[in-house]
């Protein structure tokens, strides 16, 4: 009981000694020696003076200014902190309010600068003096000359020792701090042969970036170490944060499985003893699969991911990428618009001239010249192109009627009656052939019936032919020659033989020559994953999935990679562009077809055109997303910087295999944004584009 109480007190008071450095009254404000005769004092301090490797040292600098001197200063004092080697440093936030120090009759406001230092090796850490320069006016006049002054702080030495060997537990790898650990699975429902991500998160007080990776054993699967992600919180007196260790686990046995508890030994410098953080056992439900046996663990050589063994033809470019598609969309409205315009210009199908023709035909002895004029007026009102002055040839009239959709027999009949009318109208006796007026009336009635119907049939046939031409223009391309198929087969053979480097090279050669080959890129990703190249694996699977959004193998494997977001709003939505574009095309043709048939913009027409516009917009958005013109994959671990230069301050860490969106390019630097909000500048040579070309 006494031992536990002593350890508790040591923990509380050991931490509070450092917390006080960033509390309401910084330690430097109360502990520094000041000269009461000086208007400005400059001091520094470290806490504690003896630490263990990996334990935080809090270094503070205090600038003590009197109210009178602060009022006289025309510029702020210039402070240069020391450069400390063999440590990892983090700047700590300044206190929320200024400290206050009083010695006798004089008082100073205390400006504090704090930095957390983590030694990485045992020995003595020497902290050089900091420098302070400032200029003080010799008088209160604004024209007074200024006198320069400088001050230096003290030199500090901190003794750093290794954690004790006595009591060191098995499996200890050098973690120092006050830690906790937890495990989580990216897919609580897994499937045999399909990898998922297992994450172990170590959290607590300490130098988060140097926490070592714990040992991981999965009895019912094959685990491969993945990337590490670090998040540091420097907003308090003690540096805290999380370090996420990832493993890609491929289950080999179906059923309800349990990941055993993970024990993470560490040394607690505040209690000065070794402790063990424990992650509780994690349950995972494994469904049967086709990539591995479900009743027993497979041999090591059979735990590899499967590859595609047949090289299919290249995936054709999406329909919206074809100019024929847009040309067809532009032509489809024309028949409907022309029909509607003609209806507006001719509100009645039968013009008054037809009524006059009927009246003349009913007379016992019709006026042949009046009958001829009425017939020509009626014919012209129905087929405007037949309006030709005297001298129209019979074949010309017949061809004009045929082009307007009139049948051959009706066109010949019109030609005969028009010839007879011309002959009778100008004959010396002006005698009429029996029944001529009625034959003229019947011929004009047939023209009125056939011209519109035949013209509409021809329009529909032309529109259908145009639609078939548009769809046919976006058909599948022919398969590549035997050379690509031979290289692909060699890659499959090398993969089966376990030569991942050779397989990766072969598949990559096919992918580079046939950039819309989903099979080649899928196998590039699989072979690269087995070879340990996470960045190339992500690139291959991403390209394959962008070519085939419904490919289940590429999507399932990307779930085990860093930063991939699945789902309708994820990186690659599971919707093919051609399906959306086809829906829009059908709605577009239907809408304009309804306009042609009815001659008015009805509600059905508006609804059809609205669906077409929505589907077209969705197709464009999905096509742009699948093209990936501004998407990149990180090739190597590096830091994002706040400006486009090596001298820029690191603002975040990026890992191989993560994907990002390009916001801006400037020379050899690119500004990228990751899905979790990290943004900054990276060298373009460490990035690789995921753009999928629309054609070879």
Q: Kindly report, residue by residue over 439-460, the tens digit of the pLDDT.
A: 877 888 887 777 754 334 444 4
State the pLDDT at residue 72.
Answer: 79
The stretches of 404-499 forming alpha helices (DSSP H) are 408-425, 436-473, 482-496
Strands, E, within 335-406: which ranges?
none
CA 68 and chain centroid, separation: 58
Q: How far apart are the first and last CA of the chain?
A: 77
Residue 591 has pLDDT above 60, yes or no: yes
Give the three-state DSSP class for 131. strand
Q: CA-to-CA distance for 46 and 127, rounded, in angstroms?
A: 9
Q: Which residues pair with 111 in a beta bridge?
A: 63
Q: Which one has a higher pLDDT value, 388 or 600?
A: 600
Q: For 63-85, write each residue's pLDDT tens digit.
A: 888 877 777 777 778 778 887 87
Alpha-carbon gap, residue 323 to 389, rounded angstroms: 44
Strands 131-137 and 650-654, sheet pairing: unpaired
Containing 397, the helix (H) or strand (E) segment is: helix 394-403
178 — pLDDT class (breaks 50, 70, 90): very high
Helices (H), 628-674: none
115 pLDDT more than 90: no
pLDDT band, residue 695 (cuts 50/70/90): low
Tokens describing residue 609: 């055109």
Residue indicated by tokens 């063999």: 86
349, pLDDT greater than 60? no
Note the pLDDT of residue 23. Answer: 43
pLDDT-based confidence at 347, cuts 50/70/90? very low
Please, are residues 550 and 576 in contact by the beta-carbon 8 Å criterion? yes
Report which listed range, 291-305, 351-365, 381-395, 516-530, is most confident.
516-530
The percentage of residues in the chain with a pLDDT greater than 70, rounded to a whole number, is 80
Q: What is the pLDDT of residue 6?
A: 37
pLDDT over threshold 50, residue 576: yes
Give the single-character DSSP code of 476.
P
Q: Is the four-CA dihedral 544, 548, 553, 559 of positive or negative sign? A: positive
Q: Which two tokens stand for residue 594?
A: 């309804």
Mean pLDDT check: name the lowest of 40-49, 154-163, 485-494, 589-598.
589-598
Q: Give me the CATH topology for the region 178-302.
A: Immunoglobulin-like (2.60.40)
- Cβ atoms of 331 and 592 within 8 Å: the answer is no
pLDDT digits (tens, 9 = 90+) for 352-367: 556 666 776 666 666 7
pLDDT in tens, 83-97: 787 788 888 887 767
Question: How confident is the model at residue 479, as a pLDDT?
Answer: 37
Q: Which one is predicted more confidently, 462 or 239?
A: 239
**d(C-alpha 44, C-alpha 157), whole Å:** 12
CB-CB contact of 162 with 52 (8 Å): yes
- The rounded distance, in Å, linking the Cα atoms of 63 and 99 is 10
Summarize the confidence of residues 306-329 as an average pLDDT.
Answer: 82
- pLDDT exceeds cutoff 70 at 434: no
Identify the CA nearest to 377 among candidates 350, 344, 337, 339.
Answer: 350
160 vs 24: which has the higher pLDDT: 160
User: Which tokens belong to 461?
Assistant: 């046939």
The number of helices, as runs of H, and strands, as runs of E, in the chain is 17, 27
Give the single-character DSSP code of 235.
S
**Is it true that 2-161 and 178-302 share their CATH fold?**
yes
| Per-residue pLDDT at 473 | 41
**Among 118-132, 133-147, 631-645, 677-691, the least confident range:** 133-147
CATH class of 2-161: mainly beta
Cα distances (Å, whole numbers) of residue 113 to 16, 26, 95, 190: 19, 10, 9, 51
pLDDT at 268 over 90: yes
148 phi and psi, to 5 degrees?
-85, 145
Contact status, residue 291 vs residue 306, Cβ threshold 8 Å: yes
List Cα–Cα distances, 336 to 385, 448, 456, 565, 594, in angstroms. Answer: 20, 20, 10, 45, 8
For residue 295, the model assigns a pLDDT of 42
Instruction: Give pLDDT, residue 336.
Output: 66
**pLDDT tens across 566-575, in order?**
877 788 888 8
pLDDT higher than threshold 70 for residue 10: no
Residue of higher predicted confidence among 664 and 359: 664
Close Cβ partners of 623 (under 8 Å, ≥ 6 residues apart): 318, 320, 321, 577
Alpha helices in 474-533 (DSSP H): 482-496, 500-513, 518-530
- Percentage of the chain beyond pLDDT 90 is 11
Environment class of 227 (CB within 10 Å of its CB; exposed 0-12, middle 13-18, buried 19+): buried
pLDDT band at 427; cut points 50, 70, 90: low
| 600-to-143, 363, 619 alpha-carbon distances in Å | 86, 40, 28
Q: Answer yes or no: is pLDDT of 265 > 60.
A: yes
Six-digit token pair at 347?
């509100």
| Domain coordinates in residue numbering, the chain | 2-161, 178-302, 331-473, 578-627
pLDDT at 294 over 50: no
pLDDT at 298 over 50: no
Q: What is the token pair recorded at 16?
A: 């509070």
Neighbours of 356 (CB within 10 A): 17
Q: Which residues of 152-168 are buried (b: 16+ CB within 10 A; e: fewer)?
A: ebeebebebeebeeeee
**Looking at residues 45-50, what average pLDDT do you find?**
88
Contact 610, 584 (CB under 8 A): no
CA nearest to 77, candidates 154, 151, 25, 141: 151
Query: Which of 667, 662, 666, 664 has the alpha carbon at shortest distance from 688?
Result: 662
pTM for this predicted structure = 0.45
Phi-psi region of 352 (alpha: psi -120 to 50; beta: other; left: phi over 0): alpha
Highest mean pLDDT: which range of 290-294, 429-433, 481-485: 481-485
* Segment 245-258, tens digit of pLDDT: 988 888 888 888 88
What average pLDDT does this structure show over 664-677? Answer: 87
Residues recorded for the chain: 696
Q: Tell me the backbone φ, ψ of residue 666, rounded to 5 degrees.
A: -145, 95
CB atoms within 10 A of CB 349: 13
pLDDT at 143 over 60: yes
Alpha-carbon distance of 102 to 29, in angstroms, equals 10
Average pLDDT of the residues of the chain: 78
Q: Residue 277: which pLDDT band, with cuts at 50, 70 and 90?
A: very high
């Amino acid at each position: 009981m006494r031992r536990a109480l002593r350890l508790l007190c040591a923990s509380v008071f050991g931490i509070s000694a450092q917390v006080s450095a960033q509390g309401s009254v910084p330690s430097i404000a109360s502990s520094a020696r000041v000269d009461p005769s000086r208007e400005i004092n400059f001091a520094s301090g470290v806490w504690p003076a003896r630490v263990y490797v990996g334990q935080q040292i809090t270094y503070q600098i205090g600038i003590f200014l009197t109210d009178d001197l602060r009022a006289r200063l025309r510029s702020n004092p210039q402070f240069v902190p020391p450069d400390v080697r063999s440590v990892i440093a983090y700047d700590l936030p300044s206190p929320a309010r200024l400290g206050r120090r009083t010695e006798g009759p004089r008082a100073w406001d205390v400006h504090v600068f704090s930095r957390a230092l983590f030694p990485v090796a045992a020995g003595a850490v020497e902290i050089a003096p900091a420098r302070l320069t400032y200029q003080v006016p010799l008088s209160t006049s604004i024209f007074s000359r200024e006198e320069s002054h400088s001050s230096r702080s003290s030199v500090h030495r901190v003794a750093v020792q290794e954690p004790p060997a006595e009591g060191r537990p098995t499996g200890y790898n050098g973690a120092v701090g006050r830690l906790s650990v937890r495990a989580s699975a990216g897919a609580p429902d897994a499937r045999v042969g399909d990898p998922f991500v297992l994450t172990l998160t170590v959290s607590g007080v300490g130098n988060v970036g140097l926490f070592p990776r714990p040992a991981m054993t999965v009895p019912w699967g094959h685990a491969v170490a993945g990337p590490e992600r670090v998040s540091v919180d420097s907003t308090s007196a003690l540096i805290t944060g999380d370090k996420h260790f990832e493993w890609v686990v491929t289950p080999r046995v179906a059923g309800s499985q349990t990941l055993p508890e993970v024990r993470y030994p560490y040394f607690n410098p505040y209690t000065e003893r070794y402790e063990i953080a424990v992650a509780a056992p994690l349950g995972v439900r494994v469904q049967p699969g086709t990539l591995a046996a479900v009743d027993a663990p497979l041999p090591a050589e059979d735990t590899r991911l499967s590859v595609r063994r047949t090289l299919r033809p290249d995936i054709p470019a999406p329909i919206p990428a074809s100019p024929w598609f847009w040309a067809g969309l532009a032509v489809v409205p024309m028949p409907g618009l022309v029909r509607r315009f003609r209806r507006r210009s001719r509100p009645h199908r039968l013009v008054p001239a037809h009524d006059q023709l009927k009246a003349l035909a009913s007379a016992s002895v019709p006026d042949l010249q009046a009958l001829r004029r009425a017939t020509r007026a009626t014919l012209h009102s129905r087929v405007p192109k037949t309006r030709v002055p005297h001298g129209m040839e019979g074949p010309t009239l017949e061809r004009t009627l045929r082009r307007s959709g009139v049948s051959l027999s009706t066109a010949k009949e019109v030609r005969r009656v028009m010839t007879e009318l011309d002959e009778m109208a100008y004959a010396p006796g002006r005698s009429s052939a029996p029944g001529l007026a009625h034959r003229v009336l019947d011929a004009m009635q047939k023209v009125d019936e056939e011209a519109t119907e035949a013209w509409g049939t021809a329009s529909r046939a032309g529109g259908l032919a145009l639609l078939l031409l548009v769809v046919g223009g976006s058909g599948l391309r022919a398969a590549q020659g035997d050379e690509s198929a031979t290289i692909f087969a060699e890659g499959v053979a090398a993969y089966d033989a376990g030569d991942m480097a050779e397989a990766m090279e072969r598949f990559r050669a096919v992918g580079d020559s046939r950039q819309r080959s989903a099979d080649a890129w899928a196998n590039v990703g699989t072979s690269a994953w087995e070879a340990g190249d996470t960045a190339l694996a992500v690139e291959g699977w991403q390209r394959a999935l962008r070519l085939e959004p419904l490919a289940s193998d590429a999507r399932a494997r990307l779930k085990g990679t860093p930063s991939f977001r699945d789902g309708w709003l994820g990186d690659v939505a599971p919707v093919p562009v051609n399906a959306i574009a086809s829906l829009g095309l059908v709605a577009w043709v239907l809408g304009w077809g309804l306009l042609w048939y009815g001659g008015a913009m009805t509600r059905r027409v508006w609804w059809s055109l609205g669906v077409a516009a929505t589907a077209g917009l969705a197709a464009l958005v999905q096509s742009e997303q699948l093209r990936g013109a501004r998407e990149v994959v990180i090739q190597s671990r590096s830091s994002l910087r706040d400006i486009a230069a090596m001298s820029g301050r690191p603002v975040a860490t990026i890992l191989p295999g993560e994907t990002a969106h390009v916001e801006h390019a400037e020379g050899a630097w690119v500004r990228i944004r990751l899905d979790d909000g990290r943004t900054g500048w990276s060298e373009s040579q460490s990035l690789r584009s995921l753009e999928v070309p629309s054609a070879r």
